[in-house]
């Protein structure tokens, strides 16, 4: 038997630490390759880490709730290792490539997320037939070629008609399990529709017949203690730092405009009835997103970045959108949204929204945004003064859309009305540019047919 250290993996994207959320193993437990051993939370996502090898758990070196630096040991495992140098080197190459055999990192975060839902196999043969590749850890020589084969090819899912309980253990990420608890859903009764039969957010919501994860199920009673103290870390700490940095470094100026959105509502209803948009989420936010992309081309200074030496005007749109999730506010962005059709943009927004709510948003998706939209209307708010996403100089808030009396051709009629609120960095965006940009966005909301020009 040999004792191996599992260290916290390099999560990349500038993140250097993670919090231990919950252990799935205890000392003395036997683990298999790719068995989930721990859940960690970074400032960007919640990740399940699998075991890189088979063995018996020795010591747990980090407590739940503890923040651990990347590279620090978090667990020891007793493994059966050959005593000869040649066999030891072979075992090391088969599991970690160039990593020393006594310290085996738990793998990159993106691969760990894939491995957590990979129920097809624990060890996959390499392309040349020599050695083996641990799912979720990989070797430097074959990582790219294995990805090219596609996830579906190596993740055979159980038949769609077989409930999760009948197909084997319930496969669901921690955010999905929490959602199921909040909605009172028994995951054993839910049919998973993920690639490997895992249960998705939509599966849980569908089972609960619940329209939104944010709707209150019940009013909880006061707790036994008079106060609750919540440590500032993870996503909440990242949000706080970003908002303080933005509020105190960029001089905000805000504008507001009331808009007759009746034709936007009619347009979205037609899209929902179109066969091309079958199964795709369509809402007024889609029209707003397309309107902002159109208005950016007419007013490029709102799509810029301020530095102390220069203003960088972007000739592309990485459209960010604020997503309220169970873990806090995240702002993923759709890369190169300016080249997308309306259908492609709708699919991208839906996919990234689900990823954010499921805690699967890659850190890269929350970097290099150029302008942001926030939909506070879903919470019944008329408008607000949004704070700029750090590094950007413009953000637009879409308020609730509801029927109000509106003057049309000298007559008062019921119309669907909304209020757009926008904030800009006054170092970059002058008042006339900000006004023209918001007026252009409003013109599309009032008449979506202008998008066809």
Catalytic residue numbers read 426
As a whole number of angstroms, the distance between CA 66 and CA 344 comes to: 41
First vs last C-alpha separation in the chain: 72
> 362-376 burial, b for 16+ CB within 10 Å, e for fewer?
bbebbeebbbbbbbb
As a whole number of angstroms, the distance between CA 213 and CA 205 comes to: 7
Is there a contact between 44 and 323 (Cβ–Cβ < 8 Å)? no
For 290, phi then psi, to 5°, come to: -65, -35
Distances (CA, A) of 40 to 74, 172, 196, 396: 11, 15, 22, 33
Collect all residues with Cβ–Cβ distance below 8 Å to 389 and sequence separation of at least 6: 242, 246, 320, 331, 369, 372, 395
Of residues 99, 52, 93, the one with CA closest to residue 75 = 52
Is there a contact between 3 and 58 (Cβ–Cβ < 8 Å)? yes
Is there a contact between 447 and 425 (Cβ–Cβ < 8 Å)? no
As a whole number of angstroms, the distance between CA 286 and CA 264 comes to: 10
Collect all residues with Cβ–Cβ distance below 8 Å to 356 and sequence separation of at least 6: 323, 325, 330, 332
A 10 A CB-CB count for 393 gives 25
Collapse the DSSP code of 85 into the 3-class scheme (helix H, G, I; strand E, B; otherwise coil) and give the result: helix
Token pair of 215, please?
Answer: 């709707």
Of residues 58, 57, 65, 135, the one with CA closest to residue 94 = 135
A 10 A CB-CB count for 110 gives 18
In sequence order, what are the beta bridge partners of 260? 417
**Crossing angle for the helix pair 201-208 and 342-357, to the nearest 10 degrees:** 80
As a whole number of angstroms, the distance between CA 8 and CA 244 comes to: 29
């Amino acid at each position: 038997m040999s004792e191996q250290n599992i260290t916290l993996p390099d999560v990349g994207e500038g993140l250097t630490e993670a919090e231990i959320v919950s252990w799935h193993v205890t000392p003395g437990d036997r683990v298999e390759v790719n068995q989930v051993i721990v859940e960690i939370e970074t400032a960007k996502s919640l990740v399940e880490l699998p075991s890189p090898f088979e063995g018996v758990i020795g010591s747990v070196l980090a407590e739940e709730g503890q923040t651990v630096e990347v590279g620090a040991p978090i667990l020891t495992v007793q493994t059966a290792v050959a005593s000869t140098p040649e066999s030891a080197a072979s075992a090391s190459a088969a599991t970690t490539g160039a990593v020393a055999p006594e310290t085996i990192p738990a793998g990159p975060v993106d691969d760990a997320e894939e491995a957590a839902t990979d129920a097809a196999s624990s060890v996959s043969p390499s392309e040349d037939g020599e050695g083996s590749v641990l799912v979720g850890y990989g070797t430097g020589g074959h990582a790219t070629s294995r990805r090219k084969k596609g996830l579906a090819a190596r993740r055979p899912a159980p038949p769609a008609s077989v409930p999760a309980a009948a197909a084997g253990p319930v496969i669901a990420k921690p955010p999905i399990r929490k959602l199921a608890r909040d909605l009172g859903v028994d995951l054993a009764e839910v049919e998973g529709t993920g690639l490997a039969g895992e249960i998705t957010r939509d599966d849980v919501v569908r089972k609960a017949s619940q329209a939104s994860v944010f709707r209150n199920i019940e009013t909880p009673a006061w707790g036994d203690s008079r106060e609750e103290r919540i440590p500032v870390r993870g996503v909440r700490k990242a949000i706080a730092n970003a908002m303080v940095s933005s509020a105190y470094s960029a001089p905000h100026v805000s504008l507001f405009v009331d808009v007759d959105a009746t034709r936007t509502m009619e347009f979205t209803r037609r899209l929902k009835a179109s066969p091309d948009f079958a199964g795709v989420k369509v809402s007024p936010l889609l029209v707003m997103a397309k309107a902002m992309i159109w208005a950016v081309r007419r007013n490029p200074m709102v799509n810029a970045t301020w530095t102390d030496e220069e203003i960088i005007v972007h000739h592309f749109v990485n459209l960010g959108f604020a997503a309220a999730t169970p873990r806090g506010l995240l702002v993923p962005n759709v890369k190169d949204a300016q080249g997308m059709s309306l259908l492609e943009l709708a699919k991208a927004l839906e996919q990234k929204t689900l990823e954010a709510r499921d805690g699967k948003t890659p850190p890269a998706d929350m970097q290099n945004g150029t302008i942001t939209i926030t939909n506070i209307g879903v919470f019944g708010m008329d408008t607000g003064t949004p704070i700029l996403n750090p590094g950007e100089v413009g953000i637009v808030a879409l308020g609730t859309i509801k029927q109000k009396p509106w003057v049309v051709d000298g007559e008062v009629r019921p119309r669907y009305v909304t209020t757009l609120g926008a904030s800009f960095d006054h170092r970059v965006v002058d008042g006339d540019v900000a006004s023209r940009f918001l007026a252009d966005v409003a013109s599309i909301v009032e008449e979506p047919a202008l998008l066809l020009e």
